[in-house]
A and B are shown apart, each in its own frame.
Chain A
Amino acid sequence: MSVSVRKNRPAAGAAAPASRRRPGPGALAAAAVAAAALLAPAVLPATQVSVYVLLLLSATVVVGLSMLMGYAGQVSLGQASFTMIGGYTAALTATHGLPTWLGLLLAPAAAAACAALVGVPLLRLRGHQLAFATLAIQLILLSLVGRQEWTGGDIGLQGVPRLRIAGYEFASEVSYAYLALAALGLVVLVTRHIVTSRPGRGLRALATSEVAAASSGVPVAVYKQAVFSLSAGFAGLAGGVYAFYIGYVAPGSFPVLLSFEYVVMVVVGGAGTIWGALAGATAITLLLQLLNDIGTREGMPASAPAVLSYAVYGLLLIAVVLFLPKGLVPSAAAWWDRRTASKPTEG
């Protein structure tokens, strides 16, 4: 994951100007995170690598969703539908004898194309209407995919071959961890360039007021479409990697709950910042893993893992929205700024 070592502090919530600083604690943190992320697959025990892969894939989706929700202000409760489109695209191409690298390429393309198509009528809606509409899209998709012959119905598509790129076959868990890491790195890079550019400012403007943005010359409809498709493409990429990693896709792999999970990750980490997305995905994945371990111990009732994870989801979401409305990362950054500002600055 090549997070560039020049940290523009992500503007938290309000559009604060991204102040260029000399490489400070932020840059060091970024380098440390990148190094840890690269080392992790090599040092983690084999059983933990699969958790790590799923964490990276979640983070890939969440970075895009965070950009869509926090930056462009468009709430999507159906983001897993694009993960699903990506997964199915990859699985379909691979099981029909086409080269697997093509499947991986087509996954984000198909998801982005579907989002562009659906987005034309959908993005006229705003706020809670858009939230419900995206949820409806996912419910429709799940219902349709579960009934088609060519998607394998409720059973899904089994026996997706291993991914081969230029003669190298991705077979081990660790190789997929690096593949997912590469996907996440790409997504982070693209997002960074967008949010620090002119279109990024346009997105921020239309999130605040579409009328004002349009009257200042921001092509609102085009930008909304573009960011919606792009975030869907990220989700599709994650879905494609997921299909090759797990080896099968089914409607049950992409429930509505997965979409909600992505939203929880965005909200908890802090919408509109890349760091927030990464932190949110990491925190929620690790927490769920921990709860799963606790819930599956001896003497626990069979429903314990589900109960624990739902309860924690709910409590976290409520607590963060009410008491840390900007999310973990921006709140922590603001606290750090206050701490350093209260000390006498050197020089």
Chain B
Amino acid sequence: MSAFLQYLISGVATGCGFALLASGLVAIHRVTRVVNFAQGMFAVVGGMAAGSLLGAGLPHGAAEAAAVVVAGAVGLAVGAAATGRRGTSPQSALIVTLGVGFLAYAVEIMIWGDNPRSHAGLGGSATVFGAHVQRQSFLVIGVAAAVFALLALFFGRTYTGKALSACASNPYAARTLGIDPLKMGLVAFALGGMLGGLAGVLLTPLQPISYNSDVLLITNGFAAAVLGGLNRPVVALAGALTLGVAEAMVAGYGEASYQTVVALALMLAIMMVRASRRTALQEEAAR
């Protein structure tokens, strides 16, 4: 029982990290219709930057916040590259973000080298009902919950958030009301960058990352986001938690090396089930 609880809590923590990544993907896709392949890279940048800033002597809290801001700036730059040029179709933008991912590899290797890195989070472990859980897991869950509450407030209560939602639901109508979809797209990219960076900052103490961890991160984030069709944040959150717990259970009770296989198989299954419910006609009408 205690082992089960241990896997459950660490799985929920990992799931929260994936949920932050996925919510960034969803925010960007809703506003710009671009699937951002560089989303995993934001997490890598956030995690690595936090480690460097801590090493430079910044206190905990300030270093992590600064790393998230750095990731947000990177997100803004990616958005400018992917959507800045008028007439770039979402398909082309996907390839552009793939290219940005490569460029980021070069920069990351130059700054941080190519070995896996980690930084100290909340050290130690707590005992809950006989299960030993890393305290960092609780921090991840707490921060993610707070961030999702803030996001709900932001989209529901602030002008910028409402403008973003307007662009997501009908760009043409939003434009007639004086909202600039291009600008909102950049805001979405910056937000996505910050969310991805936060995921990286929180997850790095649990599992070291290297420059090419982004492929696995993006596939996990995408798997969670695709459950809600890349448009529904709440469904993406549920998907991410399911994915995190499933991976933790497989790693705990089965083979650790099979956890990615299970996650990916789950993602394929979800996509196929969703695809079988939509006809080609609906897909093409939605373009």
Contacts and interface: CB of A to CB of B under 8 A. Distances in A.
A311 B103 contact: yes
A75 B264 CA distance: 18
A317 interface: yes
A139 B258 CA distance: 11
B96 interface: yes
Interface stretch (B12-20, B66-74, B104-112): B104-112
A139 B215 contact: yes
Contacts of A287: none
A263 B268 CA distance: 21
Contacts of A222: none
B272 interface: yes
A321 interface: yes
A14 interface: no
A315 B99 contact: yes
Size bracket, chain A contacts: 35 or more
A322 B96 contact: yes
Interface string B182-225: 00000000000000000000000000000010011001001000
A144 interface: yes
Contacts, number: 126
B98 A263 contact: yes
Contact of A322 (B88, B216, B280, B281): B88
Contact of A318 (B99, B222, B226): B99
B283 A310 contact: no
A128 B35 contact: yes
* Secondary structure dominating the interface of A: helix
* Secondary structure dominating the interface of B: helix
Given A307-B106, A310-B102, A317-B102, A144 B96 contact: no
Contacts of A140: 260-261, 264-265
Nearest to A125: B275
B126 interface: no
A294 interface: no
B112 to A, nearest CB: 10
A256 interface: yes
A146 B168 CA distance: 42
A125 B230 CA distance: 14
Interface string A293-330: 00000000001001110110111111001100100000
Interface string A113-145: 000000001101111110111011101100110
Contact of A315 (B35, B103, B109, B261): B103
A332 B264 CA distance: 41
A139 B96 contact: no
Contacts of B157: none
A310 B105 contact: yes
Nearest to A212: B284
Given A133-B268, A306-B114, A317 B91 contact: no
Interface in B76-109: 81, 85, 88, 91-92, 94-96, 98-107, 109
A9 to B, nearest CB: 24
B284 to A, nearest CB: 6
B153 to A, nearest CB: 30
In this complex, the member of A127, A136, A325 whose beta carbon has the largest number of chain B beta carbons within 10 angstroms is A136
A223 interface: no
A19 B101 CA distance: 40
A75 B226 CA distance: 17
Given A121-B272, A131-B94, A322-B96, A303 B215 contact: no
Given A129-B275, A318-B96, A139 B219 contact: yes
Given A129-B271, A139-B219, A306-B106, 14 more contacts: A122-B268, A140-B264, A147-B255, A147-B258, A209-B284, A263-B95, A303-B113, A308-B106, A310-B105, A311-B103, A313-B103, A314-B101, A317-B102, A322-B96
11 contacts: A125-B272, A140-B260, A211-B284, A263-B95, A263-B98, A303-B113, A307-B109, A317-B96, A317-B102, A321-B88, A322-B92
Interface of A: 75, 121-122, 124-129, 131-133, 135-137, 139-140, 143-144, 146-147, 209-211, 214, 220, 256-257, 260, 263, 267, 303, 306-308, 310-311, 313-318, 321-322, 325
